[in-house]
Amino acid sequence: MADTQNLVVTVKDLTDRVKFTVTLIHTGAATDNVYSQAIPMYGLQGEGAAIHFKAIGVTTRDVNLFLQGCMNLTHAEFQSFHTRERWDDFSADAADLNLISSPEVFLNAFVYESGNTTGVNVAPIIDPAFGCEFIRFQSSGETGNLVTSSTVITLILLKRAGFQDIPGGILPVNTA
């Protein structure tokens, strides 16, 4: 296994929301696990979250995607609370499969991305991971996966009412 932890997550403050982006790329064995940096949930909420997955680079791949949460920054303590059928076998043979909810609507309405003809709507789920102090994403390579497959993940979370930004408070961090 060529597991990779702490892939860099970028952050953009959108005034009432925060946008996180990470590319989970499998560069080792086809069956490796790839993890994002941990995202602190301080001042953020899971309700109204938007998650967008986009396959990049190859059209034949087999990865399973997970949202994980934990209360401490220890790799071993992160866990997945939900398994979603749409997140399993994210083969994206069209190389542009997106799973999107829209915080623009604030009612957990799920929409297609503009111009996307291969998007899939999924039922809103408030994942217990959002109740943890930290969350991260995992891409688990399966036997049929190509080594150089990658997934760009965009996560948009709403700020809690009255949240005052703390310098460095929403920056991703490495897990131990």
Q: Is residue 104 part of a domain?
A: yes
Q: Is residue 124 part of a domain?
A: yes
User: Residue 2 corresponds to which tokens in the numbers above?
Assistant: 């060529």
What was the pLDDT predicted at 50? 76
Q: Is residue 35 part of a domain?
A: yes
Q: Is residue 165 part of a domain?
A: no
Query: Sign of the C-alpha dihedral, residues 90, 96, 97, 103?
Result: positive
Q: Is residue 76 part of a domain?
A: yes
What was the pLDDT predicted at 151? 83
User: Of 100, 106, 98, 81, which is closest to residue 159 (Cα–Cα)?
Assistant: 106
pLDDT single digits (tens) 87-118 = 777 665 444 444 444 333 333 333 333 344 44
The number of domains in the chain is: 1
Q: Which domain holds residue 143?
A: 7-148
Q: Is residue 12 part of a domain?
A: yes
What DSSP assignment string belongs to the chain? Answer: ---EEEE-EEEEE-SSEEEEEEEEE--S-TT-EEEEPBEE-TTEEEEEEEEEEEEES-SS--EEEEEEEESSS-GGG-EE----GGGTT---TTS---B---TTTSS----PPTT-SS-B-------GGGGSSEEEEEEEE-TT--TT-EEEEEEEEEEPTT----TTTT--B---
Q: Is residue 72 part of a domain?
A: yes
CA geometry: angle 17, 18, 19, nearest 5 deg: 125
Q: Is residue 176 part of a domain?
A: no
From the first residue on, what is the mean pLDDT of each consecutive set of 10 residues in the chain (176 residues)? Answer: 84 86 84 92 84 71 86 90 72 47 35 41 65 93 78 85 70 78
What was the pLDDT predicted at 170? 73
Cβ atoms 17, 154 nearer than 8 A: no
What was the pLDDT predicted at 94? 41
Cβ atoms 77, 65 nearer than 8 A: no
User: For residues 90 and 76, what is the distance between their CA atoms, to the nearest angstrom?
Assistant: 24
What was the pLDDT predicted at 105? 34
